[in-house]
Amino acid sequence: MAHKMDFANRDRLRDSWRREHLDPATLWRRAGLASGSTAVDVGAGIGYFSVPAADLVGPTGKVYAADILPEMLADLRAALPGAHASRLETVTSTEYSVPLPDQIADVVLLSFVAHEVDEPERLIQECSRLLKPGGRLLVLDWDPAVEPPPGPPTEHRLAEETLVKAIASASLALESRRPAAPGVYEVLATRRS
């Protein structure tokens, strides 16, 4: 069974390391998020990435923050700035299913979630389903070649090559691979038509 983030540890999702190394706006822009876009943050947690996305999409865009833990989504809603209420919607999901229509998103973010499931290829397939043709999937995850901290123990991490294979099997075109932060890799893929 894969290791899952515990709600009791949610403050790790807003710690100083994350703020120093992972700027949400930069990552979203690199994936193509802009004013009027629709984004889905799968495994949104407390909204570290979702709330900045709501700033970027503006009043004509939409952000769906999906998580399997209703407590995480309640925490997100409690801290949500009032101006974001109409453009950010929380969605309770399961490990492999986000209850949103097909092809709803311009960008899907999967941050530090792929290593938490037993079948990452199923999760990548679901992310692909959510993307419009030409839409992009941005994945951030912990590099197993780098010893913690930060992040989960090495044995709970997902190899980048495993993720890349899952992306190829989901009819997504690999666009780029790069280090996103110390011990974190970033993979960007595009949904084919």
Instruction: Write the DSSP string, 110-142.
Output: EES-GGGSS-HHHHHHHHHHHEEEEEEEEEEEE
Q: 169-182 pLDDT, tens per residue?
A: 998 999 999 999 99
Rounded distance, CA 65 to CA 90, Å? 5
pLDDT of 1 over the 50 cut:
no
Q: 104-155 pLDDT, tens per residue?
A: 999 999 999 999 999 999 999 999 999 999 999 999 999 998 887 788 888 8
Share of the chain above pLDDT 70, in %: 93
Rounded distance, CA 55 to CA 11, Å? 22
Residues with Cβ < 8 Å from 87, sequence gap 6 or more?
54, 57, 58, 59, 61, 62, 63
For the chain, the C-alpha Rg in angstroms (whole number) is 15
Architecture of the domain made up of 7-191: 3-Layer(aba) Sandwich (3.40)
Rounded distance, CA 95 to CA 151, Å? 20
* Domain coordinates in residue numbering, the chain: 7-191
Residues with Cβ < 8 Å from 127, sequence gap 6 or more?
40, 42, 108, 110, 137, 170
